[in-house]
Amino acid sequence: MCSTALLLWGLMSARASHAAEPSPLAVRAARLFDGRSAKPLTDAVVLVQGNRIQAVGSGLSIPKGARVLDLGDVTLLPGLIDTHSHLLTNLDAGKGGEALSLELYVARRSTAERALLGAKLGREVLESGITTVRDLGNSGVNGDVALRDAIQRGWVVGPRISACTRALAPHGGQFGRMQGQAQGLIEQEYVTVSGVEEARRAVRQAVYDGADCIKVIADNGHNVFSVEELKVIVEEAHRRNRPVAAHTTQDESIRAAVEAGVDSIEHAYSLPDEVLAPMARKRIFLVPTDGPLEECEAFGADARDEETRLAMKARCQRFVTKGHERLRRAVAAGVRVAAGSDVYVEMPGRTRGEATIRYLSAYAEAGLSPVEVLRAATANAAELLRMQDRIGALEAGKLADLVAVKGNPLKDIAALRQVRFVMKEGQVVVDARDAEGRAQAPAP
């Protein structure tokens, strides 16, 4: 570096170090859900200083010189959290069974291409009010880490990402039976594990690759991880302060994952009664990934005849209804729920964010109250991600992730679909207010 460049760099650094701290920002709204209380604050004010919340209150005094954003008749809430996302996967549901093949998707798209797609989908998710996601694999070779870092560095706009890198899986990953050299595709998406020492090594590799969490495919239709393998994975992950998410679809794998002490059970389409008490005692979260009944309307849209379409729709409805039943049993037993969508398919006419938000309606359909659904997508989700010191609630010291929606989601969870304002770490991302609600001058 030449002497002139060094001098300029020094002058710029000196100016930056003596730059005045930005004036505080007061965000006002008719109502506020803080992430916990079932009773909303009215005439709410959130004071933001830089990227942090300074104070939250009803009718809070606004300091002199603060800028004021009066959002009007909306409900403010913490930035929402999706604990089961796949931003680098977007299968096409409109071209038949072949288009839904994950194997073909991986074979045809590089990790770089998928990361660029993830930047697009990530922005759509953020604009829907989801400021944090846990991206659980199917991201190529560390594509989720690359996207996470790009967002952190300000290269692209998107949600905060907790990345897991490639999921740990038994032989075959989540692919169908692959023949010969085609099996090499498996390692593009998964780290194959067989035995406790390979399990320990795989966790260490994931941490080295930049994982914030560890994803385990506890069963894949061909093989099921043993309790011993899962225990080693949990032990090694927890030693490095990484939570473990277990993909489970069978009773055997659910029992093994719960015994091993994972942090969350993903999907759990079957959920044996005998695991509910241990899950509650060990504070293991359930992340249900069921869609709402309205999604069943689209099933069979390209069926060859009306009878086939109705049969496919009926199967979908039975599946969703069964999911509602197991969610009710879990909540009644004291199992905590964190919201996760598992959206990885393109929804025609909807952004990824719009599709993701709709999945929260499934919890309400199952009988959870609106406040329980909101907690699942805020405070509970933040705790699962081990980020409760930074996000998940509107309170002093937390990052300034704010979302405003038209209506009152504490009465009707569908109000979350009507986003009017999104802020992430003090930066406004979406401001859909009309002219009457524009930013006011600084308080006198």
Mind listing the domains of the chain with CATH numbers? 24-78+395-437 (2.30.40.10), 80-358 (3.20.20.140)
Q: What is the pLDDT of residue 16?
A: 53
pLDDT digits (tens, 9 = 90+) for 418-438: 999 999 999 999 998 643 444
Q: Is the pLDDT of residue 278 over 90?
A: yes
pLDDT digits (tens, 9 = 90+) for 59-80: 888 999 999 999 999 999 999 9
Per-residue confidence at 172, pLDDT binned at 50, 70, 90?
confident
**What integer is the mean pLDDT of 385-389?**
98
* 126-140 pLDDT per residue, tens: 999 999 999 999 999
CA–CA distance, 33 with 46 (Å, rounded to integer): 11
- Split at pLDDT 50, 70, 90, the class of 309 is confident
Position 56 scores a pLDDT of 97
- Nearest CA among 421, 436, 435 for reference residue 25: 421
**Residue 262: what residue type?**
V
Residue 271: the pLDDT is: 94
Q: Would the pLDDT of 355 be above 90? A: yes
Tell me, letter by letter, the H, E, C secondary structure of the chain: CCHHHHHHHHHHHHHHHCCCCCCCEEEEEEEECCCCCCCCEEEEEEEEECCEEEEEEECCCCCCCCEEEECCCEEEEECEEEEEECCCCCEECCCCHHHHCHHHHHHHCCHHHHHHHHHHHHHHHHHCCEEEEEECCCCCCCHHHHHHHHHHCCCCCCCEEEECCCEEECCCCCCCCCCHHHHHHHHHHEEECCCHHHHHHHHHHHHHCCCCCEEEECECCCCECCHHHHHHHHHHHHHCCCCEEEEECCHHHHHHHHHHCCCEEEECCCCCHHHHHHHHHHCCEEECCCCCHHHHHHCCCCCCCHHHHHHHHHHHHHHHHHHHHHHHHHHHCCCCECCCCCCCEECCCCCHHHHHHHCHHHHHHCCCCHHHHHHHCCHHHHHHCCCCCCCCCCCCCCECCEEEEECCCCCCHHHHHCEEEEEECCEEEEECCCHHHCCECCCC
User: Which pLDDT does position 12 carry in this prediction?
Assistant: 57
Which residue type occupies 21? E
Largest separation between any pair of C-alpha atoms in the chain: 78
- Alpha carbons 248 and 252: distance in angstroms, whole number: 9
Phi and psi, residue 187, nearest 5°: -70, -10
Residue 425 CA from chain centroid, whole number? 17
How confident is the model at residue 427, as a pLDDT? 96
pLDDT band at 250 (very low <50, low <70, confident <90, very high): very high
When comparing pLDDT for 298 and 268, which is higher?
A: 268
- pLDDT for position 20: 60
Question: Has this prediction a pTM greater than 0.85?
Answer: yes
How would residue 5 be classed by pLDDT, with cut points 50, 70 and 90? low
Query: In the numeric block, which tokens belong to residue 286?
Result: 């359930």
